[in-house]
Structure 1
Amino acid sequence: MYPRIQAAQRQAPIALGPFGPEVLSYQLVRSVLRDARFQIPPGLNLVVQGITSGPLWDKVMNSLLCLEGAAHQRLRSLTSKAFTPRATFRLHDTMTAVMNELVDRIVETGPGTNTCDVVTDLARPYPVPIICALLGAPREDWQQFSVWADEIFKAFSFIAGVSEIEPAVMRAWGQLDDYVDAMVERRRRSLTDDLLSDLIRAEDGGDRLDAAELRMLAGGLLLAGTDTTRNQLAASMHVLCERPDQWELLTERPELAMHAVEETMRHSPIACGTLRLVSEDAEIGGYLFPAGTMILVNTAAANRDPTVYDDPARVDITRQGVPAILTFGGGIHYCLGANLARRELAEALTVLTRRMRNLRIVGPAPWKPMVSLGGPFSLPIEFETV
């Protein structure tokens, strides 16, 4: 994929792809992401299957991802403080404990050689307990949250037959909503040190979140932060397994964990781009985008723009003096949970490099098609424990 993208980048910062105009350069991608005239097409994965009304459509349309304008800005203003780096750092101990427990399940007693599938044994079970801890849900409910997340996320995926699974999705979503409503009611009586309490406390000029908004945000966090983290952790591990020098460097210098997250996400992101619909005629970088045009904002191409990143195909976790990756988006739709995702991935890699030595891939590690979220289907590895 990347050689074809690089060949196109050498000719122009924009090309015609299978979906229409495709923005490829770092500067143009960043400009489009920050321009409010380029909007997220609401419910596109449902529209392509003929779903444009009904309970599922209403649920998706009222999510933070689909809101635009004043309503979207209001919610971001009220919630942004709950997702600062300082706020997410309080989950450091939880993240470390969860990953250590997952490693404990697969290692033999004492030093020796072990095998596992990074996807099923480490990446898949990792994020849900952290989101539950963030919200304040007890450990005994973690598995139920995982079931809800898996079921509801199907509504946001480009899979066939969404209309057939809609009843099951709505049932799971209703159960999650009821659970969150009960949590909110308990927190209103007794606030604690968790995200839900922070959201209840949140105030901007006397404005507060109502019950429906709290429900939407809590559910949205579970959905947005589950499969993304699972897939990116597996993808980042794949990158590092293929480059033992970088794994050893991170082992010796754990302070590079955040750099390793940025570099592996730059090199091998699980989300390669985002679609945007032009709401009005817009000229950027000398290119005119007519209103109604659907464009693909290729963030993966931007992250490997050779005019911005020296030797972009090389993985270097000590890479310095480069702009931020664009995987998390930009502008008003910049990922609200970016700090949380970075922290989760960094803490996971810190634990894994401390406890695993001499990693090698011992079987096929094919990737999912880049239609929705990518990442390895499986990643079988062998390693020694310290």
Structure 2
Amino acid sequence: MTVDSAKPSVFDADLPTLDYGFTDTPQNIYPQFLAAQQQAPIALGPIGPEILSYELARSVLRDPRFVIPPGIHLSAHGITEGPLWDRVTRSILNMEGEEHRRLRGLVSRAFTPRATGGMHDTIHTVVNELIDRVIDSGRCEFVADIARPYPIPIICALLGAPRDDWQQFSRWAEDIFKIVSFDCNLAEEQSVVLKAWAEFDDYIDDMVAHRRRRLSDDLLSELIRIEDDGDRLDASELRMLAFSILVAGTDTTRSQLAASMQVLADHPAQWELLRDKPELAMRAVEETMRHSPSMCSTVRSVTADVAIGAYTFPAGTFILVNTYAANRDSAVYHDPARFDITRDEPPPILTFGGGVHYCLGANLARLELAEALKILTERIPTPLRTGSVPWKPLLGLSGPTSLPIEFG
């Protein structure tokens, strides 16, 4: 039924359709995205309307009427209530409205140069140690050997956790990440997740108690310091934010580093250009995240009829903002399938989201990726892929599951 005669429902607008499975990878589906983009800014996909155009995707991401469905990953596992549901839906990653604005306003003041600027030394130490382990063999499985172990030490240093605790953080992360994984039966693994989460909370409580006695220059100290007109973060909010940093900053960085490494390895001239001109590192991050992102989409929903662009989204509609397609919109990016780290002032990528849910850690993520790529191109001769590179599906967090390479 048409909701608004002036702006028809997306379901009545004769939009192109996308026919792909939940296990299909971005590369496999891209020809469909490309064909659909030439017909309309929206297509009807397997979970609902998919925003394909850059301008409409940016508008939806910035529009507060389009909200993140609470607990969407849990719902996919049939979990819609209980202690795990309560914990996940109360995190800042699922918040909306005034509570979200308050917390985000406070937290954004903690991501200061003092809290993140000291990461260079840790990043260089971690990346070089990982390369040292494989460089003499002349080959590695990049995902397992470098990308996977890379982010946890960075997050530990960001929060102020000592090096001796890196492995413990990794173990907690592996169990907690079952929340966003489709590779396990989460309904059966809830107790494992909750146990790891509780241990992580206890650890953070101890750190907070110590920081309150003696503040430092780490992010946790900044979160304790911040105050706005007498408003401060309480203990439960500090725990929740530390958890959100762990979840949001680990697998995303792992997957994107592997994806960036693959596309650079597949374009040896670009690899050599970055090696010879390390000042292009930030451009390389933007271009690899535009061309080969590990985060390809984000889901929104509407609780009331919403008209935007030429269409109306009826209440209850689930919308996939397809940033993979939007970042390759030929109306915005010239020759969008071409990979080129020298693109001159390209429009901002949409991979980090937009509006009130724009990734708070975007600048730190860019720093982690840029410094890692500079060191990799400096130390590793032209990498050569030695096998196929399977990717995780488009829906959820994508990226290579393995990347076998030889060096030069």
Tell me the TM-score normalized by structure 1: 0.96
Give 2:11's aligned residue: none
- Is 1:56 the counterpart of 2:88 in the alignment? no
Moved more, 148-157 or 342-351: 148-157
Give 2:304's aligned residue: 280
Match of 1:234 among 258, 279, 282: 258
Q: CA deviation at 1:85?
A: 5.9
- Is 1:213 the counterpart of 2:237 in the alignment? yes
Equivalent position amino acid for 1:36 in 2: P
Distance 1:227 1:241 in 2: 21
Give 1:311's aligned residue: 335
Preserved contact between residue 85 and residue 339 of structure 1 (Cα < 8 Å): no
Give 1:133's aligned residue: 157
Equivalent residue of 2:307, what SS?
strand
- Is 1:102 the counterpart of 2:130 in the alignment? yes
Give 1:295's aligned residue: 319
Distance 2:256 2:282 in 1: 14
Q: CA deviation at 1:86?
A: 6.5
Preserved contact between residue 273 and residue 298 of structure 1 (Cα < 8 Å): yes
Q: CA deviation at 1:156?
A: 2.2
Give 2:379's aligned residue: 355
Q: CA deviation at 1:83?
A: 2.2
Distance 1:293 1:223 in 2: 27
Q: CA deviation at 1:279?
A: 2.1
Moved more, 83-92 or 95-104: 83-92
Equivalent residue of 1:357, what SS?
coil
Matches within 5 A, 1:319-358: 319-358=343-382
Preserved contact between residue 366 and residue 378 of structure 1 (Cα < 8 Å): yes
Matches within 5 A, 1:129-278: 129-278=153-302
Query: Runs of at least 4 residues of structure 1 off by over 4 A?
Result: 84-87
Preserved contact between residue 391 and residue 400 of structure 2 (Cα < 8 Å): yes
Distance 2:73 2:247 in 1: 15
1:113-141 deviation digits (Å, cap 9, x = unpaired): 60001101110010000000000000000
Give 2:8's aligned residue: none
Match of 2:63 among 20, 26, 35: 35
Distance 1:7 1:84 in 2: 43
Preserved contact between residue 115 and residue 218 of structure 2 (Cα < 8 Å): no
1:42-84 deviation digits (Å, cap 9, x = unpaired): 0012123321111101110111111110100001100102225
Q: CA deviation at 1:220?
A: 1.1
Equivalent position amino acid for 2:75 in 1: V
Equivalent residue of 1:288, what SS?
strand
Equivalent residue of 1:328, what SS?
coil
1:214-261 deviation digits (Å, cap 9, x = unpaired): 000011101111111001000000000000000000000001101000
Match of 1:15 among 35, 38, 43: 43
Distance 1:124 1:145 in 2: 13
Equivalent position amino acid for 1:119 in 2: V
Distance 1:378 1:294 in 2: 32
* Structure 2 runs not aligned, ≥5 long: 1-28
Equivalent position amino acid for 2:42 in 1: I
1:76-97 deviation digits (Å, cap 9, x = unpaired): 1001022256642320111011
Equivalent position amino acid for 2:224 in 1: I
- Is 1:117 the counterpart of 2:141 in the alignment? yes
Equivalent position amino acid for 2:213 in 1: R
Equivalent residue of 2:94, what SS?
coil
Distance 2:399 2:357 in 1: 23
Equivalent residue of 2:399, what SS?
coil
Shift in alpha-carbon separation, 1:191–1:334, aligned structure 2, 3 A = same
Shift in alpha-carbon separation, 1:77–1:137, aligned structure 2, 3 A = same
Distance 1:86 1:299 in 2: 32
Moved more, 133-142 or 361-370: 361-370
1:307-361 deviation digits (Å, cap 9, x = unpaired): 0000001111011222110011000011111111111000100110110112100
Shift in alpha-carbon separation, 1:349–1:86, aligned structure 2, 3 A = farther
Preserved contact between residue 71 and residue 88 of structure 2 (Cα < 8 Å): yes
* Structure 1 runs not aligned, ≥5 long: none
CA RMSD of aligned residues (A): 1.2
Equivalent position amino acid for 2:204 in 1: V
Distance 2:331 2:178 in 1: 38
Q: CA deviation at 1:188?
A: 0.2
Distance 1:85 1:32 in 2: 30
Equivalent position amino acid for 2:167 in 1: Q
Distance 1:40 1:157 in 2: 18
Equivalent position amino acid for 2:228 in 1: D
Tell me the matched-pair count. Answer: 380
Equivalent residue of 1:107, what SS?
helix
1:140-181 deviation digits (Å, cap 9, x = unpaired): 000000111111011122345211000010000000000000
